[in-house]
């Protein structure tokens, strides 16, 4: 049976993706740090893996379980969080943790998955970036740096592994109703709520905190359906923008100059009050 590994499966997009791939008949390994949160997925038929992407030993151990299983057809690199705060305020240790979680951990999983996929002469690596891999907002320097990086990494990797029958697909969600926005606004206030950047930081935190209530946001199942569709496709696109006004945001980014886009993002933040 075709086998998939989904990271960040304890919540949001990852959890919905596990359910979508189970429904499509995959054997699904669901990975995250919070095993207790994945109990309902185990009940639905997923196999649980403990995984901390900031810890190499944890990544190697998780992949050893998959190697023992003997097959990996689809790797969905979905786990991630938004580390927010003014660049001036964020300690470099937190910047490195953000890169470990969102970028290096993802790359390490690819390294460990590729020998199996090359041996099979097939496989799909699905990297969940964000519209934030192409646009920006203030106080998101490290988060956006990791998402821009995963966009570029995915393009390079796609060309490297194509000769082995392996495909790399980028998923770019817009605003999605998950735990992401609460984590991002908490980290923003923690880092910059009481610094020189405080007033603007409070404004953006309000916007993030309200994101899940916005009618412009989408439920995580929308992204999960796109991921499942890309996995089923014989000739998948290189990129899928999906949910939460992703297409509108990317269109505006394309047609506006950098400074016009800055102005738009400022007005959006100010609208939160």
Ligand X SMILES: NC(=O)c1ccc[n+]([C@@H]2O[C@H](COP(=O)([O-])OP(=O)(O)OC[C@H]3O[C@@H](n4cnc5c(N)ncnc54)[C@H](OP(=O)(O)O)[C@@H]3O)[C@@H](O)[C@H]2O)c1
Q: In this complex, which beta carbon is closest to ligand X, that of residue 75 or of residue 128?
A: 128
Residue carrying structure tokens 């980028």? 170
Q: Which is nearer to ligand X, 198 or 219 (CB)?
A: 219
Active site residues: 143
- Using CB under 6 A as the binding rule, whether residue 173 contacts ligand X is answered as yes
Q: Hey, which residues between 216 and 235 contact ligand X (CB under 6 A)?
A: 220
Least gap, CB of 266 to ligand X (angstroms) = 20
Q: Does 184 bind ligand X (CB under 6 A)?
A: no
Among 175, 201, 205, 224, binds ligand X (CB under 6 A): 175
Nearer Cβ to ligand X, position 69 or 97? 97
Distance of CA 139 to the CA centre of its chain: 18
- Binds ligand X (CB under 6 A): choice among 136, 142, 148, 180: 180
Query: What count of residues does the chain have?
Result: 273
Which residues within the stretch 186-215 sit at the binding site for ligand X (CB under 6 A)?
none
Residue closer to ligand X, measured from CB, 112 or 120 = 112
Contacts within 8 Å (CB) and 24+ apart, 40-49: 41/9, 41/15, 44/18, 44/19, 46/9, 46/18, 46/22, 49/5
Rounded CA separation 237/102 (Å): 22
Question: Residue with CB nearest ligand X?
Answer: 12
**CA dihedral over 24, 10, 100, 262, signed as positive or negative:** positive
CA 46, distance to chain mean position in Å, is 20
The least CB distance from residue 19 to ligand X, in Å, is 13
Closest CA to 147 of 231, 82, 226, 97: 82
Q: How far is the CB of 196 from ligand X (least distance, A)?
A: 27
| Residues between 28 and 87 that touch ligand X (CB under 6 A) | 32-34, 37, 51-54, 78-81
Residues 106-145, interacting with ligand X (CB under 6 A):
128, 130
Strand order in the sheet with 166-173: 47-50, 27-32, 3-7, 74-77, 123-128, 166-173, 239-242
What residues make contact with ligand X under the rule CB under 6 A?
A: 7-14, 32-34, 37, 51-54, 78-81, 101, 128, 130, 173, 175-176, 178-180, 183, 220
């Amino acid at each position: 049976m075709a086998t998939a590994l989904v990271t960040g499966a304890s919540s949001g997009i990852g959890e919905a993706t596990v359910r979508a791939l189970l429904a499509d008949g995959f054997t699904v390994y669901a990975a995250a740090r919070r095993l207790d949160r994945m109990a309902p997925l185990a009940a639905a038929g997923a196999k649980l893996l403990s995984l901390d992407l900031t810890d190499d030993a944890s990544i190697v151990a998780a992949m050893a379980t998959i190697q023992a299983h003997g097959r990996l057809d689809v790797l969905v690199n979905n786990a991630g969080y938004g580390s927010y705060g003014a660049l001036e305020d964020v300690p470099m240790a937190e910047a490195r943790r953000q890169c470990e979680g969102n970028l290096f951990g993802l790359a390490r999983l690819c390294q460990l998955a590729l020998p199996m996929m090359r041996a099979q002469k097939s496989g799909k690596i699905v990297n969940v970036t964000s519209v934030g891999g192409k646009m920006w907002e203030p106080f998101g320097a490290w988060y956006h740096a990791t998402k821009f990086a995963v966009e570029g990494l995915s393009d390079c990797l796609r060309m490297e592994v194509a000769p082995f029958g392996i495909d790399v697909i980028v998923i770019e969600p817009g605003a999605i109703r998950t735990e992401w926005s609460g984590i991002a606004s908490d980290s923003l206030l923690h880092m910059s709520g009481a610094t020189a950047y405080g007033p603007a930081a409070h404004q953006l935190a309000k916007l993030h905190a309200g994101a899940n209530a916005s009618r412009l946001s989408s439920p995580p199942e929308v992204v999960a359906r796109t991921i499942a569709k890309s996995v089923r496709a014989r000739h998948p696109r290189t990129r899928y923008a999906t949910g939460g006004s992703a297409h509108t945001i990317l269109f505006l980014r394309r047609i506006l100059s950098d400074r016009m886009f800055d102005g738009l993002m400022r007005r959006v933040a100010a609208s939160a009050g």
